[in-house]
Structure 1
Amino acid sequence: MVSTRHHPRDFPSPGAAKASPSPSSTNSKGTSNNGWVHTPSAAVTIWLILSLPLVAWDSGYVLLRPHSMPGNKLHSPIWTPYALYGTIDYIYGWPAFNARNGFTAAQTVLNLVESVAYIYYLWIVYRYGASASSGRGRKAQKGLMWMLTGEKVVAGRTGATALLIAYSASVMTLSKTILYWLNEVFSGFANIGHNDVMSLIFLWIIPNGLWIVFPSYTIYILGGDIITSLENAATRQRVGRPKSS
C-alpha cells in the first residue's frame, strides 16, 4: 500500500513532499524524489504469481479449441483435466463449442489483456522496486523470495502508474467474473444446472469463486492506496495554501 508513515529515512513521509513532482525532482527512471512510494502487498503479489500461469493454461485451452478438447491431438496431457470440467461447465465443453457460443473466447481475450497488465505490474515491482530497509545507494538482492516476502517500495510516477494499472486490471477481473456468474443466472443455469450439489460446489463454485475473492481483496488494498495518496495530496494543498487576509 502507499506508505504514509514509519518509513526508513531514505523514504521521507509524504507530508514532507510537494503535491506534485517538479521536473528537477524526477530522475531518469521516471521515479520522483518527492518521497511518495508504493509498497506492494505480499498477498497481492503471491496471488498474481500463482494465478497468471493458471489463466495462461485456461486461455490456451479455449483459444486452441477444438484441438485442445477431448479426442484431439493437443488435449493430452496438457489439458486432460478439461475432459472432466467440460462436463461440469458446458461453456467449456462440446455443447457451447458446437453451438458456436462466443462468450468463452471473448472472456478469454479479456483474460489476456488483464494478464498483460498484471505482468507489467510485477515487472515494474521487480525492476524498479527497492528494499525498504536498504538505502537508495544499495542494490537490493532480488529474486523470487524477495518478490514474495521482502518489504519493497516503488517510488514516484513509476510506482503510481503500476498501482493504477494493477487496480484497473483487478476491476476488470472482478467485473468479468461476476458477468460469468450472472450469465448462468439469467440463462436459467443452462451450462451448469445439470450438476449435483457437491459437484457444483467443489468443481465450479469454489474454483471460480477464487477469481471473485482475491480480485476483490486486491481492489480493496490497491484502492485504499490510491485513496490514501489522494487524501494526503489534498491535505498538503490545504496546508500549503496561503491564508487570506
Structure 2
Amino acid sequence: MVTTRASSSRAASVEPSFASSLPPATPSAKRIARSKSNKSSSSSASSAFSHAPTTATLVWLAVSLPLVIWDTGYVLLRPLSMPGGSLHWPVWAPYKLYGEVDHIYGWKAFHAGNGFTSAQGLLNAIETLMYLWYLAAWLFSSKTEGGARVLSGRGGARATLFGYAAAVMTLSKTVLYWANEYYSGFDNIGHNPLNDLILLWIIPNGAWLVGPTYMIWSIGGDLINSLNSTSRSKRD
C-alpha cells in the first residue's frame, strides 16, 4: 500500500510539470490564422489589379509604332539608308527631304560624327520593344471583364508598368530632342522657312509630345488607383 501511494504521488507530480512544459495552443493557432489571413489578403490585392488600354492609346500605338520602327531602321542603318545608299530606295526615300529639313538626320550630322542621332535611335528600339511587350500581354494574356479585355494580376501589372515606363521614356527623349535644338541655336532646323518648319518638323515631332503624355496620364491613373486600393486593403 505504501509503495502504491508513493508511485501514484510521483506520477501526479510528473503530470503537472509535463503539462506545464507544453507550449500553449491558442497563440500558435492565432499566428496560423493571421498568416493565412495575410496571405489571402495579399493575393486578393494582387489579383485585384486590372488595366484596359483606352481606344486612344491603341490608336496612338498603331500609328506611332510602325513609324518609329521605320525611323529607327533609317537611323541605325546609316549610311546605307541615306540618299545614294544601297538601302535608301524605296523604303527610306522620304528621308531625302527630311534630311534636308532636319540636318540631324542628314549628311551634315553624319559627317560631323554627331552621335545624338544614333543614340536616340537606340532608345527608340528599346522603347519599341517595351511597347510591343505591353501590347502582346494585352493581346495574348488579357482576360475579358465586362466586355473589355483587361490586363490583370501580377503579370498584367508588370506589362502595364512597362507600357507606362516606355511612354515616360518617349516623352523624355522627345523633350530632349526639342531642347537640343533650342540650346544649339536651332543649328539643325533654323535654315527652314517658317511654313516648312511648322509643317515638316513642329507638327510631326509635336505628336510625340502629345501621344506619350496621354499614355502617361491614362496608364498612370490605373496604376495609382491600384496602389490606393492595395494600401486600403492592407490597412483594413
TM-score w.r.t. structure 2 length? 0.80
Match of 1:223 in 2: 220
CA-CA distance at 1:131 after TM superposition? 2.3
Q: Residue type of the partner of 1:63?
A: L
Q: Secondary structure at the match of 1:119?
A: helix
Q: Secondary structure at the match of 1:226?
A: helix
Tell me whether 1:110 sits opposite 2:123 in the alignment. Answer: yes
Match of 2:97 in 1: 84
Tell me whether 1:21 sits opposite 2:43 in the alignment. Answer: yes
Q: List, as ranges, runs of 4+ consecutive aligned residues in structure 1 with deviation greater than 6 Å.
A: none
Match of 2:134 in 1: 121
CA-CA distance at 1:36 after TM superposition? 2.7
Pair 75,35 (structure 1): closer, same or farther in 2 beyond 3 Å: same
Tell me whether 1:58 sits opposite 2:71 in the alignment. Answer: yes
CA-CA distance at 1:236 after TM superposition? 2.0
Match of 2:12 in 1: none
Q: Residue type of the partner of 1:121?
A: Y
Larger Rg: 2
How far, CA to CA, are the matches of 1:38 and 1:132 in structure 2?
Answer: 10
Structure that is richer in helix per residue: 2
CA-CA distance at 1:19 after TM superposition? 5.1
How far, CA to CA, are the matches of 2:195 and 2:146 in structure 1?
Answer: 48
How far, CA to CA, are the matches of 1:19 and 1:80 in structure 2?
Answer: 58
For 1:156-175, what aligned pairs fall within 5 Å after superposition? Answer: 156-175=153-172
How far, CA to CA, are the matches of 2:151 and 2:111 in structure 1?
Answer: 48
Match of 1:45 in 2: 58
Q: Residue type of the partner of 1:217?
A: Y
TM-score w.r.t. structure 1 length? 0.77
After superposition, what is the alpha-carbon deviation per residue over 1:159-189, rounded to whole angstroms, capped at 9, x for unaligned?
1101111101110000000000000000000
How far, CA to CA, are the matches of 2:180 and 2:233 in structure 1?
Answer: 46
RMSD: 1.6
Q: Is the 8 A contact 1:39 1:154 kept in 2?
A: yes
Q: Residue type of the partner of 2:87?
A: L
Q: Secondary structure at the match of 1:195?
A: coil
Match of 2:8 in 1: none
How far, CA to CA, are the matches of 1:226 and 1:63 in structure 2?
Answer: 34
Structure 1: any 5+ residue segments left out of the alignment?
Answer: 1-17, 26-31, 135-150, 241-245
For 1:133-148, what aligned pairs fall within 5 Å after superposition? Answer: 133=146
CA-CA distance at 1:49 after TM superposition? 2.1
How far, CA to CA, are the matches of 1:192 and 1:92 in structure 2?
Answer: 11
Match of 1:208 in 2: 205
Structure 2: any 5+ residue segments left out of the alignment?
Answer: 1-39
